[in-house]
Chains A and B, each alone.
Chain A
Amino acid sequence: MATRPTFSEEVSNLMHASHGNPLKTCIQCGTCSGTCPVAEFMDHTPRRLIGLINANQKEDVLESNTYWYCASCFHCTVRCPSEIDIAGLMYSLKRYSIWKHQYPEDAIGPVFSETFVKSILRSGRSYEPVLAPSYIFSYGVREFLNEAATATNLMLKGRIPVIPPRLKRLENFKKMADRIIPMGGAK
């Protein structure tokens, strides 16, 4: 009979196949926080987040914006003296929070991720205009106008495609994806 895993163990289970050392080897040195380019925007710095995970503070971890602010620059990962894959941890938390619908309410990241994934599975390629509506309405008026101006300029410079690209072997591609995540209908 197994004993109930702690939150820290749950996170380790999420990272079971990751390519770094387990979180419990963290020595709280703060190199990650000192390195992280967006630490100042985070509710908790990466060091503190790992501390909270190791102390099983599940709500505090999942409610924070920290993991959605990670830009995947991997600077923390290459510098961690305990060789913890910290950027990999942030990916794990994003995954976990999407699966459990337990992310901060105002986070744009999950919606963006979902739209992106849907777009790829539909056509095999990503297509910028499809991605726009997923986030643009969360902006204030000024940001919205800036963004619209940028999009118009891109269009004028011929840098946004008019027709969404599509794979030739799209059916095979979809069947392939169905073997990994059974989305229904596949044989």
Chain B
Amino acid sequence: MSTYSYFPGCSLEKMALSYHQSAMQTTNAVGIELKEIDDWNCCGATTYFHVDELLATTLVARNLAIAEEAGHDFVAPCSACFKNAYFASKYLKEDEDLANHINYALEQDNLKFSGSIEVKHLMEVFVDDVGVEEIQERTTHPLKGLRVAPYYGCQIVRPKKDHEDVENPQFFEELITAIGADAINYAYRLRCCGGSLIITSREAALTLVRNLLQSAVDIEADVIATACPLCQTNLEVYQMQVNQEFGTDFSIPIMYFTQLMGLAMGLPKKKLGIGTEFISTDKILTYAKEAA
């Protein structure tokens, strides 16, 4: 059993609790232990960096240092937390001056980050470390005929980290295919959901959400799969507001990829946090009924 230092992030405590629950269940099912980072703090999201990048990096470094002390690679299910942790770790490894300064601050919490661990998004753990073949093998209830629109969003692939294909990634599709569903191709799979603009520039964000939903609906997706709590919230919770604003009648479920994986592995829906969403997922559940 391999173990990771797990950074849930602020959203997963409550807003995206179902992501946390389904992440725990599915990792456990493939022999991975997620050990929550002790006393972790907020990663700064995108907003903190507006004020002071050095302090923002320090906040992230504290979590990295605690993870490192536990001796495991760092994994985040939220794309923004992942991006912040990935780049903070990279910059601290490359820039000795920066590392010295930030470690000087970390001393106050008896911590030090020396850069000996890797930072991963939860989906990378499944795709790269576990492997899609293994996930296919663990699939007892393939979601045959379910049309899934894999939604990458932004920060899981951008900015470019090292090897990944930023213009045409395929790993999400591979994962969806491994659990027996149809990964459908649609124009907006890499476009932005609006992120925190939903708060600061509402009209712009709702427009982006509308375009995204339209793009998935046009190609007859049954569900949009996400890998980020902010994307999930913008696409699902604000779907009603989009309908009111633009006179549309969207009603497409938005689920975490871990929830779909869990269903395909025959895990009980309650344990996957299914039932707290605004848009009914009943139709999706019917695809998971027949065992392979």
Contact = CB atoms under 8 A, between A and B. Distances in A.
A contacts B directly in the complex (CB < 8 Å)? yes
Interface of A: 17, 19, 37-38, 41, 68-69, 71-75, 77-78, 85, 87, 91, 94-95, 98, 107-110, 112-114, 116-117, 120, 124-128, 131, 135, 139, 143, 146-147, 149-150, 153-154, 157-161, 165, 167-169, 172-173, 175-181
B219 interface: no
Nearest to B87: A19
B137 to A, nearest CB: 34
Interface string B175-218: 00000000000000011101111011111110110000000000
Q: Is the interface of A mostly helix, strand, loop or mixed?
A: helix
Nearest to A135: B199
Among B50, B154, B278, max chain A CB count under 10 A is at B50
A117 B108 CA distance: 20
Q: Report the 10 A-B pairs with minimum CB-CB distance, sorted nearest first.
A: A73-B192, A74-B158, A179-B105, A172-B109, A175-B108, A73-B154, A124-B41, A94-B50, A176-B108, A71-B195
A172 B108 contact: yes
A75 B195 CA distance: 13
Among B46, B47, B154, max chain A CB count under 10 A is at B47
A39 B66 CA distance: 40
Given A37-B208, A95-B52, A157-B278, A75 B41 contact: no
B204 A108 contact: no
B167 to A, nearest CB: 8
Given A75-B190, A143-B202, A169-B109, 7 more contacts: A98-B50, A109-B50, A112-B199, A126-B45, A150-B241, A176-B109, A177-B59
B47 A112 contact: yes
Nearest to B47: A116
B39 A168 contact: yes
A73 B204 contact: no
Contacts of B154: 71-75
Interface of B: 10, 13-17, 39, 41-42, 44-55, 58-59, 62, 91, 95, 98, 101-102, 104-110, 154-155, 158-160, 166-167, 190-192, 194-197, 199-205, 207-208, 237-238, 240-241, 244, 276-278
B42 A78 contact: no
A112 B58 CA distance: 21
A113 B192 contact: no
B13 A161 contact: yes
Contacts of B58: 176-177, 180
Contacts of A120: 41-42, 44, 48, 59
A69 B201 contact: yes
Contacts of B203: 41
Contacts of A147: 241
Nearest to A134: B199
A94 B200 CA distance: 13
Contact of B48 (A17, A117, A125): A117
Nearest to A116: B47
Among A149, A153, A154, max chain B CB count under 10 A is at A154
Contacts of A175: 108-109
Among A147, A154, A176, max chain B CB count under 10 A is at A176
A91 B53 contact: yes
B105 A177 contact: yes
